[in-house]
Chains A and B, each alone.
Chain A
Amino acid sequence: MEVLYHQYKRRVFGMAHRIVGTTDAEEVAQEAFVRVFRGLANFRGDSQLSTWIYRLTVNAALSYLAKRGRRQEVGDESIAEMPAPPTAERDLALAARIEDAMGRLPAGYRAILVLHDIEGLSHEECAAILECRIGTCKSQLHKARAKMRELLGASLK
């Protein structure tokens, strides 16, 4: 099991970190690995092992957010009306502003951005992980990027 842990720890932790934030990332990643290890004997093998592990990670992160009831878990309309992130200042690196803006996205948008744009997975893999249609993935990604552009504003120019 430790082999499997070391093979996937960075991606699992990275996904958890970018979906639930710094404070709770370790807890969520631990929970994801517990689900992986406890479910491994029942894993049917009809999807790739990595896809299954990422699915458990995303599910652990989203269910954690649902339980925690984060203030950021709001609808699209509210996002558009949010004030600019307080950390979006010129002296901060663009990467930090991007991480901050991601924290302001709805969790579903965050998940697809992490899987597709950060982890570099294909639409097919994202659809398998999120258990939705490929078209839904593409549509969510389009909306997520539009929200990111909106939140980042002039930072991207």
Chain B
Amino acid sequence: MTHGCDKLRGKLTAYLDGDLDPDAGTVVRGHLRTCDACREVAAAEAKLRDELRALPVLDPPPSMWEGVQARLAAAEVVESKRPGWRRTLDQVVRWTRGSGVFAPRMLVGGVAVATVALVVMWRMNRPDADAGAPTTPDVIAVPSPVLAPSQETKLGGQTVESAPFGTDVTADLAGEGQRIVASYVGTAEELMTMIGEVREQWSAGDQATYDREVAALQVKVNAATDDRTKQRELRALIRYVQRALVRDDVALAGGAP
């Protein structure tokens, strides 16, 4: 094996995946034409890749969903017995980890500790300190909807008047802010599609409440004039839809096994 073979094999995966620029691809092809050993390696790798892609899709056993429900119920029973301050601590740590705002880990740790201390002090001193962690409300608050004119969005099989919050932000993903906005939009749309499949089981009142609330949140998204505000409003929309999904699950779930 020559030095040229060494160099080529380092690029083989990228070449077969189409990740090389045209010039580098030409160099690889030129070498493969003249080197039997590397051609054999390339053929084996291409065959491996094709075989991997052709592996069958695996169907989970029918019992899996029941197992998920049983585990979920058991986990929630355990969680409900944990002290409120532990749940608060976990939430703060989770938020701090997930935020991605603070790059240096030490800074994250310091801020987390300070935040936890403040939260714990606040919880100990407020009048309803024993109320525990906030839970999903049973009744969704219904603000007065302010709908954008002449726009329609499909929500769970119903047409709800609102502005299409995704259409004006997905076209240009050049900036990081816009990329995040687009990601939020995709998430919101996917979650709302899921809601659409379960909302038929809700009462008419809950459906109307959900539609009004989502429409109002969408109006706020559309009214946002900069990426940061739009992201904030999209997060509010996503949180609302997530809670509706969780509430739906809680309503339908059975007890602990």
Residue of A nearest to B238 (CB): A45
What chain B residues lie within 8 Å of A133 (beta carbons)? Answer: none
Main DSSP-derived SS at the B contact region: helix
* Residue A2 interfacial (CB < 8 Å): yes
Q: How far is the CB of B105 from chain A (nearest CB, A)?
A: 14
Q: How far is the CB of B33 from chain A (nearest CB, A)?
A: 19
What chain B residues lie within 8 Å of A4 (beta carbons)? Answer: 194, 245
User: Are A145 and B48 in touch, CB under 8 angstroms?
Assistant: yes
User: Are B57 and A10 in touch, CB under 8 angstroms?
Assistant: yes
* Residue B246 interfacial (CB < 8 Å): yes
Q: How far is the CA of A98 from the CA of B56 in the complex (A)?
A: 12
Checking B54, B98, B186, B238 against A95 with a beta-carbon cut-off of 8 angstroms, the contacting residue is: B54
Q: How far is the CA of A138 from the CA of B249 in the complex (A)?
A: 39
B55-82 contacts to A, CB under 8 A, are 55-61, 63-65, 67-68, 71-72, 75-76, 79
Q: How far is the CB of A138 from chain B (nearest CB, A)?
A: 7
* Residue A117 interfacial (CB < 8 Å): yes
User: Are A45 and B59 in touch, CB under 8 angstroms?
Assistant: no
Residue of B nearest to A117 (CB): B52
* Residue A84 interfacial (CB < 8 Å): no
Checking B60, B68, B136, B183 against A34 with a beta-carbon cut-off of 8 angstroms, the contacting residue is: B68
> Using a CB–CB distance below 8 Å, which chain B residues touch chain A?
10, 12-14, 19, 40-41, 43-45, 47-49, 51-61, 63-65, 67-68, 71-72, 75-76, 79, 91, 94-95, 98, 100, 136, 180, 183-184, 186-188, 190-191, 194, 197-198, 234-235, 238-239, 242-243, 245-246, 248-249, 252
Supply 5 further A-B pairs (C-beta < 8 A) apart from A4-B194, A44-B235, A145-B13.
A2-B249, A2-B252, A5-B65, A34-B68, A157-B43
> Using a CB–CB distance below 8 Å, which chain A residues touch chain B?
1-5, 7, 9-10, 12-14, 17-18, 25-27, 29-31, 33-34, 37-38, 40-49, 94-95, 98-99, 113, 117-118, 120, 123, 138, 141-142, 145, 148-149, 152, 156-157
